Amino acid sequence: MSSQRGGTLMRMRGLVRKEFLQVLRDPSALAIAFVLPVVLLLLFGYGVSLDAEHVPIAIVVEQPTPDTTSFCSELEHSLYFEPTYLHGMPAARQALMERRVDAILHLRHDFSEKLRRPGGASVQLIVNGVDANTARIINGYVEGAYAKWLEHRAIELGQTLAAPVNVEHRIWFNANVRSRNYLVPGVVAVVMTLIGSLLTALLMAREWERGTMEALMVTPVSMLEVLLGKILPYFILGMGGLALSVVMGVWLFEVPLRGSIWVLLLGSSLFLLTALGMGLFISTVTRVQFVAAQVAIITTFLPAFILSGFIFDIGSMPRPIQWITHVIPARYYVAILKTTFLAGDVWSVILPNCAALAVMATIFLGLTRRLSRKRLD
C-alpha cells in the first residue's frame, strides 16, 4: 500500500514538473498568464471610464446679467463641464451637429427676471441623445449644478430655498463614484477566466494534436493522475495572475480592498477550479486547438465580459437573459469580487455565490473525469 502511494506521488511529481516545463517553454502561455492581465488592467484602469468628466457644453446667454454670470461660473469651476460660449442658437446647434459639443445650455433673455418670481426661472438643456447613458448623466449633472447654484444664491441673499423635499445624496461603498473601482474587480474575473479556461483548453488540445497525450496513455499513470497533474500547475498559475491583478488594483489604481484576503482567496479558488474544469472539459470534447479556442471564447470569455455584471447591470437585462446569467460562473465571481473589494465581508452575498461556484466546479470536473478514458478513439 505504501509503495503504491509512493508510486502515485512520484508520478504526480513528474506530471506536475512536465506541465511547469511546458508552461515555461511556451511564450503564449506566459503571456496569457502574466502579460495579458497587465494589459487588461491598464486598458480598463486608464483607458476605459464610465464617468462623464470634462463634458464639452455650449452655453448660449441671450442677455448677460450678474445672475447668468454667476450660474455660468458654477459650471466653469465644475470638474464635469468644459463650457464654450456661443452667440445664438444657430451656432450652438451647428456645434452640436458637428459633435464639437455634447449639449447646449440656453439661458433666455428673461432668466434673471423670472428668477425673482415665485415660480422661479427655468433653463433649456439640449443634449445629444446618440448615447442615451451619457445624455442622462449630462442631464443629471446640469440639474445638480443648477440646484446647487440656487442654494448658494439663496444663502447669499439670506433667503430660504423653498423645496418640498430636502434630498441628501449618500453613496455607499464607492463614495467618490470612481468607475475604476467598479471596473478593476470585474477585470480580475475576466483575467481568471482567460487563465483558467482558455489557457487550459488550448494547451490540452495542443497535447492531443501533437500526440503527447497518447504517449501519456501508454505509461502507468491513470487519467485521474493526468487530470490532477494538469489542474495543479494551472491553479498555481491562475493564483499568480490573481496576485498580480490584486496588487495592481490596490497599489496602482487605488481600489479599496475592504474585505478579508482569505475570503478573496476562497472565492477565487472556487472560480478558478470551475474555469479549469470548463477548460479541461472543452479540450476533452474538442481535442483541436482552433475549435477549443472558439468554444472557450464563446462559452467562457464572452459571457464573463457581457453577462456577468462586470460592465452591464444584470437587473437591467431582459428577463430571459437574466435567467441565462445564472449558468454563467463569472456572474457569481464578479459579485464576490465587487463585494469583497468595495463593501467588505458581506456573508449574505459571499456564501451563496461561493456555494454556486462550488457546485459548478464539481459538475465540470466530474464531467471531465467521466469523459476522460485511458483509451485511443
Instruction: Quote the pLDDT of residue 162.
Output: 55
Give domain status of residue 281, yes or no: yes
Instruction: Quote the pLDDT of residue 58.
Output: 92
Instruction: Quote the pLDDT of residue 376.
Output: 53
Supply the range of the domain harboring residue 225: 2-48+178-371
Angle between helices 347-371 and 261-286 (to 10 degrees): 30
Sheet with 81-85, strands from edge to edge, namely 81-85, 55-61, 103-107, 124-127
Q: How far apart, in whole angstroms, are the C-alpha atoms of residue 338 and residue 184?
A: 9
User: From the CB of residue 325, how many other CB atoms can be counted at a distance below 10 Å?
Assistant: 17
DSSP state of 316: G
Q: How far apart, in whole angstroms, are the C-alpha atoms of residue 304 and residue 316?
A: 17
Give domain status of residue 163, yes or no: no
Give domain status of residue 162, yes or no: no
Q: 87 with 206, same domain?
A: no
One-letter amino acid identity for 318? P
Q: 79 with 121, same domain?
A: yes
What is the domain-level CATH number for residue 148? 3.40.1710.10
Q: 118 with 97, same domain?
A: yes
Q: Which one, of 52, 114, 62, lies nearest residue 85 by Cα?
A: 62
Give domain status of residue 59, yes or no: yes
Q: 41 with 87, same domain?
A: no
Read out DSSP for 174-192? -TT--HHHHHHHHHHHHHH
Q: What is the pTM of this model?
A: 0.79
The backbone torsions φ and ψ at residue 57, rounded to the nearest 5 degrees and listed phi first, read -135, 135
Q: What is the mean pLDDT of each run of 10 residues along the chain (377 residues)?
A: 63 79 77 83 78 83 88 84 89 90 90 79 85 80 84 73 57 75 88 86 78 73 79 88 90 90 94 92 85 88 88 86 93 93 91 96 90 64
Give domain status of residue 376, yes or no: no
Q: 15 with 128, same domain?
A: no
Q: Output the nine-digit C-alpha cell for 294.
A: 472558439
Q: Is 144 left (phi over 0), alpha (psi -120 to 50) or beta?
A: alpha
Q: How far apart, in whole angstroms, are the C-alpha atoms of residue 367 and residue 360?
A: 11
Instruction: Quote the pLDDT of residue 122.
Output: 81
Q: 215 with 234, same domain?
A: yes
Q: How far apart, in whole angstroms, are the C-alpha atoms of residue 151 and residue 356?
A: 49
Give domain status of residue 304, yes or no: yes
**58 with 87: CB under 8 angstroms?**
no
Give domain status of residue 305, yes or no: yes
Q: 249 with 207, same domain?
A: yes
User: From the CB of residue 313, how many other CB atoms can be counted at a distance below 10 Å?
Assistant: 7
Instruction: Quote the pLDDT of residue 324.
Output: 93
Burial pattern 127-156, b for ≥16 Cβ within 10 A else e, equals: beeeeeebbebbeebbeebbeebbeebeee
Domain count, the chain: 2
Give domain status of residue 121, yes or no: yes
Instruction: Quote the pLDDT of residue 334.
Output: 93
Instruction: Quote the pLDDT of residue 271.
Output: 95
The residue whose grid cell reads 476605459 is: 48
Residue 59 DSSP SS3: strand
The backbone torsions φ and ψ at residue 254, rounded to the nearest 5 degrees and listed phi first, read 60, 40
User: From the CB of residue 288, how many other CB atoms can be counted at a distance below 10 Å?
Assistant: 14
Instruction: Quote the pLDDT of residue 222.
Output: 76
Q: 183 with 273, same domain?
A: yes
